Amino acid sequence: MAELHEPNLALHVEDLTVSYQSKPVLWDIDFDVPPGVMAAIVGPNGAGKSTLIKSVLGLVPAVAGHVTLFGRPYKDQRRRVGYVPQRSSVDWDFPTTALDVVTMGLYGRLGWLRRPGRRERREAMQALEKVGMQDFAQRQISQLSGGQQQRVFLARALVQDADVYFLDEPMAGVDATTERAIVDILRRLRDEGKTVIVVHHDLQTVRTYFDWLLLLNVRVIAQGEVGDVYTAANLRKAYGGQIALLEESALLPPQERDMPVTERLP
Amino acid sequence: MTILDWLQDYTIQNVVIGAALLGLISGVLGSFAVLRKQSLLGDTLSHAALPGVCIGFLIAGTRNIGSILFGALVSGALAALLMLALTRNSRLKTDAGLGITLSTFFALGVVLLTYIQGTNNAAQGGLDSFLFGQAAATLRSDLWIMGGITVAALGLVSLLWKEFKLVSFDPSYAASLGLPVVWLEVLLTVMIALAVVVGLQMVGVVLMAAMIIAPAVAARQWSHRLEGMVLLAAAIGVGGGVFGALLSALSRGLATGPLIILSVSSVVIVSLLFAPRRGFVWEIVRLRRSRRRLRYQQVLTTLYQLAAAHADSRYRSGQGMIDTYHGTSTQRALRKLHRRGYVVRHAAPPEEPNTAGQWVLTPAGIHEAERILDSLGREAL
Ligand SMILES: Nc1ncnc2c1ncn2[C@@H]1O[C@H](COP(=O)(O)OP(=O)(O)O)[C@@H](O)[C@H]1O
Ligand SMILES: [Mg+2]
């Protein structure tokens, strides 16, 4: 048997370069994630965060470099990986139900020709329960709110019962309750020893939610433990001119974000 | 001629069976094309079939249906591949790629067609019928080809049902699971080219696209599950096909293909107008209803906030005050709230005898108002 390459890393990316029509989007990326952490990929719009995930999953071809998960290439590790694409990447007007979407997470395990049966539906139902969506199982997906759609996507990845999860902006455009629910679920996964890698858009919550951080802007700006990487200097390097906007709000300690709706009757 | 004779008429039988097969395969495959936002693909594939028809004829030297259909299939598939190559390797958007391929292939087809007509080949007998179809020329042997193609396509769709569903809904997730997305998409495309081949004889290359798109669009209006949509699209396709075919047989002389297209198109129009939840009429009704509900919720929360501002849950709000606040009469909304037990009415106080009375929230009304405010607050976040 061939020797494993970096078997102790949940994710190992080496010299990865990706370009769309000869415009480099990711340049010479070296990126490692140890198992059992909750890692954030953070960077400005167009930094190549989604492309990095897609390239790891083999969805966009790399010009150079290689990727291993627990020492093996992705195509040998598919069953150990769960993926939550950006919510906006699909048309939610597709005629199907929440339960059906979650069941899609099992298609890889089912293989060709076999159809999802009672067992698959039960597993999908359990995943919906984990994200608090069991009451919406038969709901047409266009009738769900953005936060509920995001939970359905998360449930679809949970049903894969993976060891490494990749999530692309799971908390973008969701309500506070959903964000809290998603973070709780991801933390639970991490506490079970799984690795969770999240493209995250909100600098304010990076330090509260995550313990590992990759700052990305076409190149790797910095990576490592959140405490070491999350510095004003690194953020300035990643965000360039945009940092003026971010500086005050981002570097202040995160604040509780519950706002009172209106005056209450006594 | 009695109805029975009429139904036993050989030509009419052929046309009706052919139309039904065409409706069946178009409805099923069209559903996937429409959901994958590739309606224009059907259009491109059918127009691109024309040069294949001509080349098939030139090679066979006669109007041999086998070689003509094969030629159509090959040139349709070629057009699809060309389109894919164009959009993958350049900045061309899909619709532009489809448009360019469509017109180039169709132009080539028309040139070949006029060339063949120029050679005065006696066997060319109505090659231009492939433009708008010539259903009456359908033979039993054609039906066997059409039937075989339809059965093969339906078999593939049912075998690869869950794969096709996932690829249509979320192709990148499908790829992450290891499905060969490109091959599945090629397969779907080739099958649409096959449906076009089935339709060439009946409705011709120009109208074939409508046959692929229309039943699926109509079915989508009524169904919220892929299973239901595909079955309904098949039913609409078959129904429209048979109806159009019978209509043309009855009318003696009106073109079959266009009548079939008109039949399915009228189902589309009815569906776009009246389908529950998605139809245009439904939308108008819903809008008016929600406007009324909004008013009623606004009045309730106004009462709540007036009470909150006075720190008095039994606060009596004068009707005039509520009207002024909303800038319109709230009589109707208040009556509705009253019927639901959310407010009670008190007579005007003696010091203001000319005003219209006062309203007080009930505990149920307070509860409901808080529920509304909470849900608004959640949406605002
Ligand atoms: N399919 C594509 N074709 C061409 N360019 C693309 C494509 N997808 C993304 N890009 C470009 O690649 C860059 C990185 O995109 P992306 O990975 O989506 O960034 P992020 O997720 O960090 O916002 C952007 O400049 C974007 O315009
Ligand atoms: Mg992105």
- Does A94 contact B168 at a Cβ distance shorter than 8 Å? yes
Does residue B260 fall inside a structural domain?
Answer: no
Q: How many CB atoms lie within 10 A of CB A239?
A: 22
CA distance A152 to chain B (A): 13
Residues B249 and B116 placed together within one structural domain of the fold:
yes
A112 touches chain B (CB under 8 A): yes
pLDDT in tens, A139-176: 999 999 999 999 999 999 999 999 999 999 999 888 88
**Domain edge (last residue) among B218, B238, B255:** B255
How many Å lie between the centroid of ligand 2 and the Cα of residue A169?
A: 7
Range of the domain at B138: 3-255
B219 or A256, which is more confident: B219
What local confidence, expressed as pLDDT, does residue B292 receive? 81
Residues B159, B38 within the same domain: yes
Instruction: Please report the pLDDT score of residue A255 as a whole number.
Output: 43
Do both B172 and B307 map to the same domain?
A: no
In a mutagenesis test of the B interface, which of A107, A174, A180, A264 is the best target, namely the one with the most B β-carbons within 10 Å? Answer: A107
Subunit contact B172:A54, Cβ cutoff 8 A: yes
What does the pLDDT read at residue A253? Answer: 47
pLDDT at B121: 64
Give yes or no: residues B225 and B337 share one domain: no
Contact status, residue A39 vs residue A212, Cβ threshold 8 Å? yes
d(CA A128, CA A103): 10
Tell me, what's the pLDDT at B3?
66
- B195 in any annotated domain: yes
pLDDT at residue B186, rounded to an integer: 87
What would the pLDDT profile of A1-39 be if each residue is shown by its tens digit? Answer: 456 777 788 899 999 999 987 788 999 999 999 999 999
Q: Read off the CATH number of the domain in which B215 is found.
A: 1.10.3470.10
Q: Please report whether residue B264 resides in a domain.
A: no
Averaged pLDDT score across all residues of chain B:
86
Contacts of B367 (CB under 8 A, 6+ apart): none
Tell me the C-alpha distance between B186 and B76, whole Å. Answer: 12
In a domain, B144, yes or no: yes
**Is the pLDDT assigned to residue A256 strictly greater than 50?**
no
What three-state secondary structure class fits A210? coil
pLDDT for B2: 64
Q: Specify the ligand 1 atom closest to the Cα of A21.
A: 4
Q: Specify the amino acid at residue B19.
A: A
Please choose, from the candidates B278, B282, B281, B330, the residue with its C-alpha nearest in 3D space to the C-alpha of residue B302.
Answer: B330
- Under an 8 A CB cutoff, do A261 and B35 touch? no
Q: How many CB atoms lie within 10 A of CB A240?
A: 11
B180 with B309, same domain: the answer is no
| Index of the ligand 1 atom closest to the CA of residue A216 | 22
**Residue B125: its pLDDT value, please?**
61
A75/A85 Cα distance (integer angstroms): 18
pLDDT at A242: 63
pLDDT in tens, B125-181: 677 788 888 888 888 888 998 899 999 999 999 999 999 999 999 999 999 999 999
By the 10 Å C-beta count (0-12 exposed, 13-18 middle, 19+ buried), B45 is classed as: buried
* Same domain membership, residue B246 and residue B355: no
Same domain, B251 and B302: no
> By the 8 A CB rule, do A166 and A136 touch?
no
Run of H or E residues at B163: helix B161-169
Which is nearest to A79 in space by CA: A159, A16, A12? A159
Q: Indicate whether B205 and B311 sit together in one domain.
A: no
Letter for the amino acid at B45?
A: L
Q: Which of B367, B29, B42 is nearest to B203 (CA)?
A: B42
A248 residue type, one letter: E
Give φ, ψ of A207 to 5 degrees: -70, -30
Model confidence at A98: pLDDT above 90: yes
- Sheet containing strand B317-318, strands side by side: B317-318, B358-361, B343-346
- Helices A146-158 and A118-130 sit at what angle, rounded to 10 degrees? 130
Q: Are residues B295 and B208 in the same domain?
A: no
User: Is residue A59 very low, low, confident or very high in pLDDT (cuts 50, 70, 90)?
Assistant: very high
Which residues have C-beta within 8 Å of that of residue B9, sequence separation ≥ 6? B1, B249
Per-residue pLDDT at B23: 95
In the predicted model, what is the mean pLDDT of residues A214-227? 91
Measure the CA–CA gap between B349 and B85, rounded to whole angstroms. Answer: 80
| Whole-prediction pTM | 0.82
Question: Average model confidence (pLDDT) for chain A?
Answer: 87
C-alpha A170/C-alpha A149 separation (Å) is: 10
CATH of the domain at B357: 1.10.10.10
Question: What is the per-residue pLDDT for A263?
Answer: 46
Whether residue B182 lies inside any domain: the answer is yes
Task: Decide if A193 touches B, using CB distance below 8 A.
Answer: no
Degrees (nearest 5) of the Cα angle A201, B166, B146?
Answer: 150
What is the tens place of the pLDDT at every residue in A60-91?
999 999 999 998 989 888 899 999 999 999 99
Q: How far is the CA of A50 from the centre of ligand 2 (A)?
A: 4
B267 in any annotated domain? no
In a domain, B90, yes or no: yes
Are B356 and B248 part of one and the same domain?
no
Farthest-apart Cα atoms in chain B, separation: 104
Please judge whether A265 and B226 are an interchain contact, meaning their C-beta atoms are less than 8 angstroms apart: no
**Among the three residues B236, B255, B274, which one is the final residue of a domain in this structure?**
B255
Check if the beta carbon of residue B168 is closer than 8 Å to that of residue B35: yes
All structural domains of chain A? 11-230 (3.40.50.300), 231-266 (no CATH)
Do B177 and A78 meet the contact criterion of CB atoms below 8 Å apart?
Answer: yes
Ligand 1 centroid to Cα of residue A51, in Å, is 6
Name which residue leads in pLDDT, A266 or A120. Answer: A120
**Domain count across chain B:** 2
Say whether both B73 and B162 belong to one domain: yes
pLDDT at A251: 53
Tell whether B228 is within 8 A of chain A (Cβ). Answer: yes
Tell me how far apart the alpha carbons of residues A101 and A108 are, in angstroms, rounded to a whole number: 13
H or E stretch at A176: helix A176-191
**Distance of alpha carbon A150 from alpha carbon A131, whole angstroms:** 10
Domain boundary residue among B239, B255, B271?
A: B255
Cβ contacts of residue B323 below 8 Å, gap of 6+?
Answer: B329, B330
The pLDDT score that the predictor gives to residue A262 is 45
The stretch A89-96 carries a mean pLDDT of: 94
Q: Is A237 exposed, middle or buried (0-12, 13-18, 19+ CB in 10 A)?
A: middle
Structure tokens at B55: 């080349």
Ligand 1 contacts CB of residue A214 (under 6 A): no
Q: Which helix (H) or strand (E) holds A234?
A: helix A232-239
The answer to whether residues B110 and B147 belong to one domain is yes
Q: How many residues does chain B have?
A: 381
Give the CA dihedral A104, A106, A112, A115, nearest 10 degrees: -80
How sure is the predictor about A194, in pLDDT bands with cuts at 50, 70 and 90? very high
The CB density around residue A31, as the number of other CB atoms within 10 Å, is 21
Tell me whether strands A23-33 and A11-20 are parallel, antiparallel or unpaired.
antiparallel
Tell how far the Cα of B96 is from the centroid of ligand 1, in angstroms. Answer: 21
User: Which residue reads 């309750």 in tokens?
Assistant: A177
CB-side neighbour CA atoms (13 Å) of B175: 17
Residue B275 lies in a domain: no
Q: Rounded to whole angstroms, how far apart are CA atoms B43 and A154?
A: 37
Contact of A230 with A211, CB cutoff 8 Å: no
Q: What is the pLDDT of residues A106-126, one digit of tens each?
A: 999 998 989 999 999 999 999
Question: Which residue ranges of chain B lie beneath pLDDT 70?
Answer: 1-4, 6-7, 120-125, 353-355, 377-381
Q: How far apart are CA B314 and CA B298, in angstroms?
A: 19
